[in-house]
């Protein structure tokens, strides 16, 4: 085991897979000469050269479309968006081409492609650079959506995503690239579609994913001081979603809080809430509680951003509200 940062394991996962399979290439803005906008492809140009680590112009629709087309010739591209806010320029290629190729070819052609880059807020970047698109892409049949919350999961899930024969949306966070943890030196894979119970507990199930799960950990530590044991589930994969792990936990704790960095209307927490009430309603001792960002674009001012983004106290209060519901 070695201590590695999130950005290091992203580069490692891509490099290991590119050594294994010469059909894989990386393309995106500043991925080559600059070593990645967030240094998540550091050293890859030197190792693989400009034909496999490709600096693209600021034309997301163009390089996404080229990459989707290349899958039909036997390539397996990794497309990096500097931020998933910029993926909106390429959304036609992702939704109307990559996600549809397998079905519209009658299963004759696959589209093995990974679209990866940062999602959601990252401090003072403004409203147009602080949007979570997890549930947007998860709404589309034909796409898989992965949002890891730590370096260990990120490496194992990215390697699996690159090997997948379907298009995968792989979302990170600018604010996690410096996060560190122990990661095995030997190869490992993490299956797409399997949640992970990060913390065992018997009183309340707390479901989250991505960087906002850090608020869940902090809240669980606070609640433990009062004797409340919170079970934290990191879903890791938005589509396919591991309903079974969530439902099994709810049947044990009889309470559910969902924490998500997304606007409150029609999001991942809405889907989880619905499915739990469909499949485990009789086990619930209190209504499901959701915690989201406020229903506005992300503010720039730090004091307003704090009001907009889910805070630890909100999580603590939500858990207590389902614990003491009469």
Which pLDDT tens digit goes with each residue over 298-322?
999 999 999 999 999 999 999 999 9
Q: Is 17 a catalytic residue?
A: no
Q: Give the span between the Cα atoms of 266 and 288, in whole angstroms.
A: 15
Per-residue pLDDT of the chain (326 residues; tens, 9 = 90+): 999 999 999 999 999 999 999 999 999 999 999 999 999 999 999 999 999 999 999 999 999 999 999 999 999 999 999 999 999 999 999 999 999 999 999 999 999 999 999 999 998 899 999 999 999 999 999 999 999 999 999 999 999 999 999 999 999 999 999 999 999 999 999 999 999 999 999 999 999 999 999 999 999 999 999 999 999 999 999 999 999 999 999 999 999 999 999 999 999 999 999 999 999 999 999 999 999 999 999 999 999 999 999 999 999 999 999 998 64
Q: Tokens 């080229």: give the residue.
A: 66
Which pLDDT tens digit goes with each residue over 14-47?
999 999 999 999 999 999 999 999 999 999 999 9
Q: Give the span between the Cα atoms of 312 and 314, in whole angstroms.
A: 5
User: Running DSSP on this structure, what letter comes out for residue 46?
Assistant: H
Catalytic residue among 60, 80, 174, 260: 60
Catalytic residue among 8, 12, 17, 129: 129
For the record, the structure tokens of 228 come out as 């409340």
User: Running DSSP on this structure, what letter comes out for residue 21?
Assistant: -
Alpha carbon 75 to chain centroid, angstroms: 24
Q: Is 60 a catalytic residue?
A: yes
For the record, the structure tokens of 242 come out as 């591991």
How confident is the model at residue 123, as a pLDDT?
86
Give exposure, 281-296, as e/b (b: 16+ Cβ within 10 Å): eeebebebbbbbbeee
**Pairing between β-strand 144-146 and β-strand 114-118 as defined by DSSP bridges:** unpaired
- Against a cut of 0.95, is the pTM above it? yes
Neighbour tally for 154: CB within 10 Å: 31
């Amino acid at each position: 085991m070695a201590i590695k940062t999130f950005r290091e394991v992203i580069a490692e996962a891509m490099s290991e897979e590119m050594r294994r399979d010469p059909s894989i290439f990386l393309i995106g803005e500043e991925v080559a000469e600059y070593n990645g906008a967030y240094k998540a492809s550091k050293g890859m140009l030197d190792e693989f050269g400009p034909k496999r680590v490709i600096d693209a112009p600021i034309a997301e629709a163009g390089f996404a479309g080229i990459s989707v087309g290349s899958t039909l010739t036997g390539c397996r591209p990794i497309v990096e968006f500097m931020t998933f806010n910029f993926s909106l320029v390429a959304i036609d290629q992702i939704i109307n081409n990559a996600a549809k190729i397998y079905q519209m070819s009658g299963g004759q052609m696959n589209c093995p492609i990974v679209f990866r880059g940062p999602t959601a807020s990252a401090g003072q970047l403004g409203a147009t650079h602080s949007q979570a698109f997890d549930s947007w892409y998860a709404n589309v049949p034909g796409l898989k959506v992965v949002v890891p919350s730590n370096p260990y999961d990120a490496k194992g899930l990215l390697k699996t995503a690159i090997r997948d024969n379907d298009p995968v949306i792989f979302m990170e966070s600018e604010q996690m690239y410096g996060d560190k943890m122990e990661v095995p030196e030997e190869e490992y894979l993490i299956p797409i579609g399997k949640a992970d119970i990060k913390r065992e507990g018997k009183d309340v199930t707390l479901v989250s994913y991505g960087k906002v799960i850090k608020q869940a950990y902090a809240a669980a530590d606070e609640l433990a001081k009062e004797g409340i044991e919170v079970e934290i589930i990191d879903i890791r994969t938005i589509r396919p979603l591991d309903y079974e792990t969530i439902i099994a936990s709810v049947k044990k704790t009889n309470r559910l809080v969902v924490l998500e960095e997304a606007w409150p209307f029609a999001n991942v927490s809405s889907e989880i809430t619905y499915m739990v009430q469909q499949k485990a309603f009789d086990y619930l001792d209190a209504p499901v509680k959701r915690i989201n960002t406020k229903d506005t674009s992300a503010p720039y001012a730090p004091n307003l951003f704090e009001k907009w983004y889910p805070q630890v106290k909100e999580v603590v209060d939500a858990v207590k509200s389902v614990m003491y519901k009469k």
